[in-house]
């Protein structure tokens, strides 16, 4: 026998659904306004930083936010499909091939994940393959904005103020940032892709380094 749902609970669920729909509509309307979105997020980050300086506390919250934003930024820079995995797959298929097969494959025909062609902005059969991000720009912005807002709210609760020596956290963050960015730039140079639009789109792999490379269009939301 089905138990009837209380009328008040059903109204509450309906109110939550209606709020979620309205919130999603607001998000959809902000999608084309990239500069305004990031400007508002930058303003929220400045307010958070002023809060940290004013309170002279909550350094662990600031450090956690910095680490999280760094991870988001790295995911934003990385392609959706790792080219190193595609290269390893191509080498494995060549090594396991029958005798008499060629020992190498042209870079333009190297398979991507799942056996398809790699997707890193190269021209293939006259078609431009755009750069597809691991973390699209809109999701990057949304996650970063939520993290900044939650971090600001956390500064209102004293139990988040864990005593730490903030210069150590700052030095460690700088070292971590330099190491991770050097690794990412090395990955970009090795597999010849550039995750930013610089005014023109050209094929990947034709230049001798990042300076000779064009970019594909960023992935949409």
Nearest to 133 by CA among 48, 76, 89, 202: 76
Q: Which residues pair with 123 in a beta bridge?
A: 128
pTM of the predicted protein model:
0.68
- The ranges assigned to domains in the chain are 34-95+105-212
Distance CA 99, CA 119 (A): 29
More confident residue, 131 or 120: 131
Q: What's the sign of the alpha-carbon dihedral 98, 99, 104, 109?
A: negative
On the question of pLDDT at 206 being above 60, the answer is no
Tokens of 209: 């380094």
On the question of pLDDT at 217 being above 80, the answer is no
CA 152 to the chain's CA centroid: 22
Tokens of 40: 């508002």
Distance CA 120, CA 78 (A): 11
Q: State how far the alpha carbon of 191 is from the alpha carbons of 32, 120, 158, 183, 198, in Å.
A: 31, 9, 47, 12, 18
Model pLDDT for residues 107-128, shown as the tens digit of each residue: 444 444 444 444 455 444 445 5
Q: Which residues pair with 117 in a beta bridge?
A: 111
More confident residue, 107 or 88: 88
- What is the DSSP annotation of 81-143? S-HHHHHHHHHHHHHTSPTTS-S---GGG-B-GGGSB--SS-EETTEE----BSS-HHHHHHH
Element holding 128 (H helix, E strand): strand 127-128
């Amino acid at each position: 026998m089905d138990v009837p749902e209380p009328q008040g609970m059903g109204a509450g669920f309906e109110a939550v659904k209606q709020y979620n729909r309205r919130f999603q509509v607001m998000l959809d309307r902000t999608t084309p306004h990239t500069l305004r979105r990031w400007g508002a997020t930058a303003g929220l980050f400045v307010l958070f930083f002023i809060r940290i300086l004013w309170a002279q506390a909550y350094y662990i919250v600031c450090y956690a936010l910095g680490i999280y934003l760094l991870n988001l930024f790295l995911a934003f820079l990385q392609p959706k499909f790792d080219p190193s995995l595609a290269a390893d797959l191509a080498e494995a298929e060549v090594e396991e091939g029958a005798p008499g097969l060629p020992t190498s494959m042209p870079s333009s025909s190297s398979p991507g994940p799942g056996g398809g062609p790699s997707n890193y902005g190269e021209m293939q059969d006259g078609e431009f393959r755009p750069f597809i991000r691991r973390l699209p720009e809109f999701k990057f912005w949304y996650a970063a904005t939520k993290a900044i807002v939650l971090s600001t709210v956390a500064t209102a609760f004293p139990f988040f103020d864990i005593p730490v020596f903030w210069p150590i956290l700052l030095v460690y963050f700088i070292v971590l940032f330099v190491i991770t960015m050097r690794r990412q730039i090395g990955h970009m140079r090795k597999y010849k892709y550039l995750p930013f639009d610089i005014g023109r789109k050209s094929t990947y792999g034709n230049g001798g380094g990042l300076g000779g490379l064009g970019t594909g269009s960023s992935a949409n939301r």
